[in-house]
Structure 1
Amino acid sequence: MSIVTELILNADSEARYPGPKELHIFQDFLKTGEQRLRIAKFLADNEQQLVQNGSARFWERCPVTPSNSGNPRKTASCQRDQGWYIRLIAYSVLAGSEKPLEEIGTIGIKEMYNSLEIPIANIVVAMQCLKEEAVSMMGEEDAAEVAPYFDYVIQALS
């Protein structure tokens, strides 16, 4: 759900028009549209590089892990999940809201990884590595915009 959708639904639930504060939030959302599109395009265009470099960072910190066991299937599965999170972060950047991450990516995620016997701490470190890689490749302004979405995932898993 985007900020715009939230504003409209909140006003509608109270049978009123959006107020000045809400209209200001909407105006700010529109002003940042070009930046949000640029960031989402960057994440889409660089997903593979982010995952490869983020995985290398992760394996330096956590060398003994299923994704680095020499089993190509496990490595591919872990990297697929990392790419999935990058895509969800791109959705959230476009929406200007953490809702896509929350609704699609973090509800029940701990239970899923626990059932697969994948240490949650490893997923947290992997997400930190992806964040580091992404912000190192972006300009300061774009990095500041995308970092909180990575932090949202990290916090949800912690």
Structure 2
Amino acid sequence: MSVVTELILNADSESRYPAPKELRIFQDFVKTGDQRIRIAKILSDNEQLIVQRGSQRFWERCPNTPSNSGNERKTASCQRDQGWYVRLVAYSVLAGSEKPLEEIGTVGIKEMYNNLEIPLRNIVEAMRCIKEEAVSMMSEEDAVEVGPYFDYIIRALS
């Protein structure tokens, strides 16, 4: 759900027009549109590279993991999941909200990885590496904007 949708739904649930404070939030959202689109484009255009480099960084820190065992299927599955998170971060940036991560990406995530017997500490470290690679491709201003979305995933897995 985007910031705009949330503002409208909140006002509508109370049968009122958006308050001045809500209109300022909407105005700020519109002002940052170019930046949000730019960040989403960087993530989209570089997803594969972000995941590949992030995986390499992760394997340097944690060399003995299922994703680095030589089993191509496990490696591909791990990298597919990492790419999925990069895409969810792009959705969240565009929406200006953590809702896509919350509603699509983190519900039941701990249980899933526990059931697959994948150590959560590995997933957390892998996401840190993905974040580092993603923000290294951005300006400082864009990195500051996107960082909290990766942090949201890291917190959800911790």
Deviation at 1:136, TM superposition (A): 1.2
Q: CA deviation at 1:121?
A: 0.7
Q: Provide the rounded CA distance (Å) in 1 between the counterparts of 2:135 and 2:88.
A: 16
- Where does 1:72-83 land on structure 2 (aligned, <5 Å)? 72-83=72-83
Does 2:7 match 1:17?
no
Q: Is the 8 A contact 2:42 2:137 kept in 1?
A: no
Q: Partner letter of residue 127 of structure 2?
A: M
Give the secondary-structure state (helix, strand or coil) at the position aligned to 1:70: coil
**1:136 corresponding residue in structure 2:** 136
C-alpha separation between the residues in 1 aligned to 2:110 and 2:139?
A: 32
User: Is 1:152 the equivalent of 2:152?
Assistant: yes
* In structure 2, C-alpha distance between the alignment counterparts of 1:42 and 1:116, rounded to whole Å: 31
Percent identity of equivalent pairs = 82
What amino acid sits opposite 2:103 in the alignment? E
Q: 1:153 Cα deviation (Å)?
A: 0.4
The residue that corresponds to 2:66 in the other structure is: 66
Summarize deviations over 1:72-131 as a string: whole Å, max 9, x none.
000000000000000000000000000000000001000001011111110000000001
Which residue identity does 1:154 align to in structure 2? I
TM-score when scaled to structure 2?
Answer: 0.99
1:124 counterpart residue number? 124
1:47 is aligned to 2:39: no
2: CA distance between counterparts of 1:60 and 1:137? Answer: 20
TM-align CA RMSD: 0.4
Quote the offset at 1:50 in angstroms: 0.1
Q: Corresponding residue for 1:4?
A: 4
Structure 2 counterpart of 1:106: 106
CA distance in 1: counterparts of 2:117 and 2:14, whole angstroms: 45
* Distance in 2 separating the partners of 1:146 and 1:157: 18
Q: Which amino acid aligns with 1:130?
A: I
1:118-148 per-position Cα deviation (integer Å, ceiling 9, x unaligned): 1111000000000111111111011011000
Aligned letter for 2:43? L
Amino acid at match of 1:79: Q
Gaps of 5+ in 1: none
Consecutive unaligned residues in structure 2, runs of 5 or more: none
Distance in 2, matches of 1:137 and 1:69, equals 28
Matched with 1:115 is 115
CA distance in 1, matches of 2:126, 2:93: 20
Contact 2:85–2:105, Cα closer than 8 Å, also in 1? yes
| TM-score, normalising length: structure 1 | 0.99
Query: Could you say what secondary structure the match of 1:21 adopts?
Result: helix
